[in-house]
């Protein structure tokens, strides 16, 4: 394939240690070990996607097998071994994807192949990608060879899930944890590639790509590739266009919403959010970005803007720092908890957009319950204005704030004496049917359901109920019933289980009554006439005719 036709992630894949970015310490350690001829039996590279695990494995393979040696590894005019390894066609360097070859038989074939020495190079090297996908039996089959391989055999493992690899395997490898690439380093890297490709991309758009890629070089190059292909060559990819292409929105809009929430501008908050939603931003992305913003508001004094953190620009950083002076830390912690709860809520509701709107409204009402810091700023003035409307600050603690009051709250309530309160609270329950009626009046539907369907009455008298039950009775039934009976009657009730079968449950009685009625109708002349005309008919329900019908 022509190099110009390759995607950027493959076209600019590092070919030697000097081309690697962000892994200088790891590179230096490996180079020193090769120069000192202290090469481990197996390397194990772990880290997130796109930080250079497989690339580093190939570079090591080249360094070990280059005809010019480690001191003069090919950089421009590549030797046959380096060219073959780069093209994944070298006979002594075998690359295996453990995700597609997970079984013990695949590893046995590998071990069998390892018995033969290299044909055209110094070392036979096995590069196993996504090694955590190997089965337990496959790992066990590999252990002995991994611990004491022949001098010519080297293993290089790469994984994103280090915890899934057995400790016995990790202990036989020289482990390297590859870190995420720093924002500034990644920015300079993709900017250099953009210039090589003669692409027109603004620095702000490149910073957005760096932010989205989260330290992954491959992700950054894939996004850059996508951005360059999305527009005509004559147009520049600016921040606004990049946000549309990648599905991200301007963070300053989020800061504005946060400011409006603090000021209690409900209508403007909803309008601003709907504007963001219309841009194609998913509710879950919005909530996660809102969570990130809360973190910045809480810890802005601990952060410094040095130009290498592209989550915020200069203007956003300054605005957050100014607004944060008027926010109580306790409020921000509450905001954080509400936001975390909303993320889990989004997985339950069918319309996530409505859930986010209600989340923002709840935050507005939450701010009205807590005063901001006593600072000279717009938010403090807004709070003081709310206080004046309620005459004084102490009213906020006693009155219902920003809530719709029902009739009973608006009506002046006269105090009642103890006898009236006691008479209202005490209920006399003298039968099982009366108990069912009380459950219905008190809207204890679950309790009523258990009493009707799963309970058989044996005896009811003098604050004592004796029952039998079926297997479907709720395990907390006795506890719940005892609690409610005491609450309603101000007396302790004894509920006991009996070995006697007792009366049929309410549902059983209704079912028996229904069956008797059906059988009676089946003996009627009308039913027999119906069967003569419709032999396959079956009577399943009977409704008694009302007097008015």
User: Directed axis angle between helix 352-369 and helix 266-278, to 10°?
Assistant: 150
pLDDT, averaged per 10 consecutive residues of the chain (549 residues), comes to 73 87 90 89 91 90 84 76 84 86 85 84 90 90 87 91 91 91 88 88 87 87 88 80 77 85 88 84 86 85 58 72 81 87 86 89 75 46 49 42 44 49 65 85 84 85 84 82 85 82 79 80 79 76 64
- Torsional sign, CA 200, 203, 209, 213: positive
Residue 172: closest CA among 127, 136, 135, 139:
139
Q: Find out if CATH 3.40.720.10 is the number for domain 3-177.
A: no
H runs (alpha helix) in 74-164:
80-86, 104-114, 136-147
**Long-range CB pairs of 237-243, under 8 A, 24+ apart, other chains included:** 237/199, 237/200, 237/201, 237/202, 237/205, 238/202, 238/204, 238/205, 239/202, 239/204, 239/205, 239/208, 241/205, 242/204, 242/205, 242/208, 242/209, 243/208, 243/279
How far apart, in whole angstroms, are the C-alpha atoms of residue 475 and residue 245? Answer: 55
Take residue 485 and report the two structure tokens written for it. Answer: 């009976």
- Sheet strand arrangement including 494-497: 455-461, 464-469, 494-497
pLDDT of residue 170: 92
- Convert 264-292 to b/e letters by CB count within 10 Å (16 or more is b): bbeeebbebbeebbeeebebeebbebbee
Using CA atoms, how far residue 305 sits from 256, 300, 302, 313, in Å, is 20, 10, 10, 8
CATH 1.20.272.10 residue window(s) in the chain: 251-389
Cα end-to-end span (Å), the chain: 86
Phi and psi at 305, nearest 5°, equal -90, 105
- pLDDT, tens digit (0-9, with 9 covering 90-100), for 421-468: 444 557 788 888 888 888 888 888 888 888 888 888 888 887 888 888
How far apart, in whole angstroms, are the C-alpha atoms of residue 141 and residue 517? Answer: 74
- Convert 504-514 to b/e letters by CB count within 10 Å (16 or more is b): ebbeeeeeeee
pLDDT of residue 253: 82
How far apart, in whole angstroms, are the C-alpha atoms of residue 402 and residue 397? Answer: 12
CATH class belonging to 251-389: mainly alpha
CATH class belonging to 426-503: alpha beta
CATH 1.10.8.60 residue window(s) in the chain: 183-246
State the DSSP H helix or E strand holding residue 268, giving kind and residue range, or none if neither. Answer: helix 266-278
CATH 3.40.50.300 residue window(s) in the chain: 3-177
Residue 239: closest CA among 215, 219, 210, 216:
210
Q: How many residues in total does the chain contain? A: 549
* CATH level 2 (architecture), domain 183-246: Orthogonal Bundle (1.10)
Question: Residue 13 carries which DSSP code?
Answer: -
pTM equals 0.58
How far apart, in whole angstroms, are the C-alpha atoms of residue 401 and residue 369? Answer: 7
Residue 85: closest CA among 169, 33, 15:
15
How far apart, in whole angstroms, are the C-alpha atoms of residue 499 and residue 203? Answer: 82
Phi and psi at 212, nearest 5°, equal -65, -35
Q: Give yes or no for a contact between 379 and 263, defined as CB atoms under 8 angstroms apart.
A: yes
pLDDT of residue 350: 83
CATH 3.30.300 residue window(s) in the chain: 426-503
β-pair partners for 456: 468
**Long-range CB pairs of 478-487, under 8 A, 24+ apart, other chains included:** 480/446, 480/447, 481/447, 481/451, 484/439, 484/442, 484/444, 484/447, 485/429
How far apart, in whole angstroms, are the C-alpha atoms of residue 371 and residue 379? Answer: 10
H runs (alpha helix) in 390-460:
395-398, 407-410, 418-425, 432-441, 445-453
pLDDT of residue 368: 63
pLDDT of residue 417: 53
């Amino acid at each position: 394939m022509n190099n110009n036709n390759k995607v950027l992630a493959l076209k600019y894949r590092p070919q030697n240690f000097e081309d690697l970015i962000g892994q200088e310490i790891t590179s230096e350690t490996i180079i020193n070990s090769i120069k000192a001829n202290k090469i481990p039996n197996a390397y194990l590279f772990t880290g997130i996607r796109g930080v250079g695990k497989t690339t580093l494995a190939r570079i090591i393979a080249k360094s070990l097998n280059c005809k010019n040696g480690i001191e003069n590894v090919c950089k421009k005019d590549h030797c046959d071994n380096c060219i073959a390894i780069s093209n994944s066609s070298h006979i002594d360097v075998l690359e295996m994807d453990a995700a597609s070859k997970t079984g013990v038989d695949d590893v046995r074939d590998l071990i069998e192949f390892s018995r033969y020495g290299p044909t055209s190079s110094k070392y036979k090297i096995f590069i196993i990608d996504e090694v955590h996908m190997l089965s337990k039996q496959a790992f066990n089959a590999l252990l002995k060879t991994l611990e004491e391989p022949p001098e010519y055999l080297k293993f290089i493992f790469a994984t994103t899930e280090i915890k899934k690899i057995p400790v016995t395997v990790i202990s036989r490898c020289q482990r390297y944890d590859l870190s995420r690439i720093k924002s500034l380093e990644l920015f300079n890297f993709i900017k250099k590639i953009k210039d090589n490709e003669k692409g027109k991309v603004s620095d702000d758009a490149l910073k957005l790509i760096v932010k989205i890629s989260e330290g992954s070089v491959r992700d950054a190059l894939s996004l850059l590739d996508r951005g360059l292909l999305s527009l005509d060559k004559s147009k520049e990819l600016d921040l606004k266009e990049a946000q549309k292409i990648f599905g991200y929105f301007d963070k300053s809009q989020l800061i504005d919403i946060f400011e409006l929430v603090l000021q209690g501008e409900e209508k403007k908050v909803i309008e601003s959010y709907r504007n963001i939603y219309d841009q194609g931003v998913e509710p879950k992305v919005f909530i996660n970005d809102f969570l990130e913003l809360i973190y910045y508001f809480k810890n802005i004094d601990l952060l410094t803007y040095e130009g290498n953190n592209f989550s915020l620009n200069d203007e956003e950083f300054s605005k957050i720092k100014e607004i944060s002076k008027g926010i109580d830390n306790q409020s921000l912690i509450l905001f954080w908890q509400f936001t975390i709860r909303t993320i889990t809520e989004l997985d339950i509701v069918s319309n996530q957009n409505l859930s986010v709107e209600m989340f923002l409204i709840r935050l507005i009402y939450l701010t009205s319950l807590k005063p901001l810091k006593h600072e000279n700023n717009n938010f403090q003035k807004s709070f003081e204005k709310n206080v004046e409307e309620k005459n004084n600050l102490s009213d906020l603690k006693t009155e219902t704030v920003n809530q719709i009051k029902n009739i009973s709250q608006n009506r002046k309530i006269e105090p009642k004496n103890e006898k009236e309160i006691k008479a209202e609270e005490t209920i006399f329950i003298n039968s099982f049917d009366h108990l069912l009626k009380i459950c219905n009046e008190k809207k204890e539907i679950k309790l009523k359901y258990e009493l009707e369907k799963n309970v058989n009455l044996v005896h009811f008298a003098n604050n004592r109920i004796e029952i039998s039950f079926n297997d479907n009775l709720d395990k907390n039934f006795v506890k719940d019933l005892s609690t409610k009976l005491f609450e309603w009657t101000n007396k302790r009730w004894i509920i006991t289980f009996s070995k006697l079968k007792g009366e049929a449950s309410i549902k059983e009685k209704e079912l028996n009554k229904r069956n008797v009625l059906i059988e009676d109708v089946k003996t009627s002349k009308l039913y027999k006439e119906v069967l003569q005309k419709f032999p396959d008919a079956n009577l399943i329900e009977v409704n008694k005719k009302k007097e008015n019908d």
